[in-house]
Amino acid sequence: MPLKMNFDQVDAVSSQLKVLANPDRLKILCVLMEHAFNVQEIEERTQIHQPTLSQQLTILRNANLVGTERIGKYIYYRCVDEKVLKLIQTLHALYCAK
């Protein structure tokens, strides 16, 4: 018996995929899969330099994929969307795991 398709969320999914389709944003989310990092740490791990990194982090924050926490003088970024986290983990398993 074929699955009944529900297209209620197709616009929301499409919007999220557009955000994820950028290579820099995908790198950032991969780095933030398991740990929170500040901008300098993300820059070191991704090799994405300012101001591009800040621009991409702003887009991820506006899409509610990344959240922040201030600790002392640093702002730490982390992935806050469980669905996107699962998607990034799945992509990692399919394309990056050796």
- In the chain, DSSP finds a helix count (H) and a strand count (E) of 5, 3
Would you give the DSSP letter of residue 66? E
- What is the tens place of the pLDDT at every residue in 63-98? 999 999 999 999 999 999 999 999 999 999 999 876
The 10s digit of each residue's pLDDT in 3-61 is 777 888 899 889 999 999 999 999 999 999 989 999 999 999 999 999 999 999 999 99
Domains parsed from the chain with CATH numbers:
11-96 (1.10.10.10)
What is residue 21's predicted lDDT score, i.e. its pLDDT? 95
Residue 32 near residue 88, CB atoms below 8 Å: no
Q: Give me the residues paired with residue 77 across strands.
A: 37, 68
Record the pTM: 0.88
